[in-house]
Amino acid sequence: MSKFQSLEAFGQGEEYELLPFKFDRFDDNQYILTNMAGEYLLIDSNVIPALIKRELSPEHPSFSSLRSRHFLRYPQEKAPLELLALKVRTKYSRLPSFTNLHIFVVTLRCDHSCPYCQVSRQMEGAGSFDMTREMADKSLDFVFRSPNPAIKIEFQGGEPLLNFEMVKYVVLEAKKRNETQKRDLQFVIATTLSLLTDEILAFCKEHSILLSSSLDGPRELHNANRPRKGRDSHERFESGLNRARETLGYDQVSALMTTTDKSLPNVKAIIDEYLRLGFTGIFLRSLSPYGFAIKTNKFHRYDTERWLDFYREGLQYILELNKSGVRFVEHYSATVLKKILTCEDPGYVDLMNPAGAGIAAIVFNYDGAVYASDESRMLAEMGDETFKLGNVLTNSYEEVMLSDQLLDALEGSFTLSAPMCSECAYEPFCGADPVFHHAMSKDVLGRKSESSFCKRNMSIFKHLIELMRADKQTKNIFLGWANGC
């Protein structure tokens, strides 16, 4: 009596079935296949016709990989469907929790005059551009209507430290309300660090407030990108960084850079500056088409391809650092890799589908206006209120969250049904950005063949996959980034 059953008993004598997948030519020799859960596989071009015609032999080297990653199954098998469904549910598990990030614009006043600023900043003394307690109270009413068990309140401006009394008020009032709400409450201040005082640092330490700052690179580049009176932006940043780390803790202060035309030849110097100041990663961020970035023509100083060259050069340098024993992360790549290599969605608003506008992040402006995202607020400052959802003084939570402005944008940009997105092999790794596409083409879906959002992200997806295919050590580094190791 045979110890093992025949192959037919496991369905391998039957014709297989194809599970839903998309494919695209990856290079001259291979295609990339992706499924709904984001599983991907590179296979030789000559395999595709046989696979689709259901003529691929079980003995073919690609067959077991196609089966294990849920691209095909035998008719009587239930496990592939159940596993695929589980991975898809995991991917969309954030949706029921709804809005996590709540941005309070406590002032438009700022002590910097950055030429690429995305906000219509005001002079330091213009107090009429400050949030009032009435606006803050109404905004907090909205915050605690969110069903999310974790609430993050981020203070933005302008420079929010110019209205620090309002920051203090919101923090204390939110914590008071949370005594009964029992949410996981977190606070972040987006600041240049130039106006830090001992009082501010003491308050931040007492209430575990994180600081999110900006660093564009070495002193000369940073001061050129972020000018202020005294031409000492970088000096103030470094001084504030050291004081904040000493008081709050080393990991309580982060930094974000923006790529200008002056940055393009200096990616290694920018990364070296982050290393010199003790940061363990960098976000190589391109300019966005809002506010002063448009008015000063900064957004048009370089095209997508020039930024991609900058990104690729920076990523290569970062990989060399990692291979030499210096752990350093490119954070946008890490976000993308989490989508490519795991079933989890990192919750990064620009790469969410449905779009993260409103349902992942929402903005309460100093004047009570509610916007679907930070970019929506910037667009409104340019005179386009397409994504203004209402006002905390005149609209209810239900009226804001069920407004046509929000629902139409989410539906119109949903990648699983959007033309060119729905059949794109890279769709599982991507997201919808209706505000960006409206800003560029007055259409929440946008013209995908002309979209710099699409070109930039598809190039990044392919580049990361190619790097993993070419080098096992790089793949191990990327696995670490994707899993936060």
- What Å distances lie between residue 195 and 23, 109, 130, 423, CA to CA? 52, 13, 17, 50
Q: Report the CATH superfamily, name and number, of domain 97-334+345-401.
A: Aldolase class I (3.20.20.70)
**Higher pLDDT residue, 312 or 450?**
312
* Cα 200 from Cα 164, distance rounded (Å): 8
Whether the pLDDT of residue 118 is over 60: the answer is: no
Whether the pLDDT of residue 8 is over 70: the answer is: no
Question: Please, which pLDDT band fits residue 485 given cuts at 50, 70 and 90?
Answer: confident
pLDDT of residue 4: 58
pLDDT of residue 230: 85
Helices (H), 292-418: 292-295, 304-323, 331-341, 374-381, 397-401, 404-412
- Calculated CA dihedral for residues 395, 396, 401, 405, nearest 10 degrees: -20
Query: pLDDT > 90: what percent of the chain?
Result: 81
Whether the pLDDT of residue 393 is over 90: the answer is: yes
CATH 3.20.20.70 in the chain, residues?
A: 97-334+345-401
* Cα 49 from Cα 30, distance rounded (Å): 13
- Say how far residue 428 (Cα) sits from the centre of its chain: 15
**Is-above-0.85 flag for pTM?**
yes
Half-sphere exposure of 38 (CA within 13 A, CB side): 24
Whether the pLDDT of residue 10 is over 70: the answer is: no
pLDDT of residue 111: 87
CA angle 466, 471, 473 (to 5 degrees): 130
Give the strand pairing for 361-364 and 369-371.
Answer: antiparallel
Tokens at 341, concatenated? 């290599």
Whether the pLDDT of residue 288 is over 90: the answer is: no
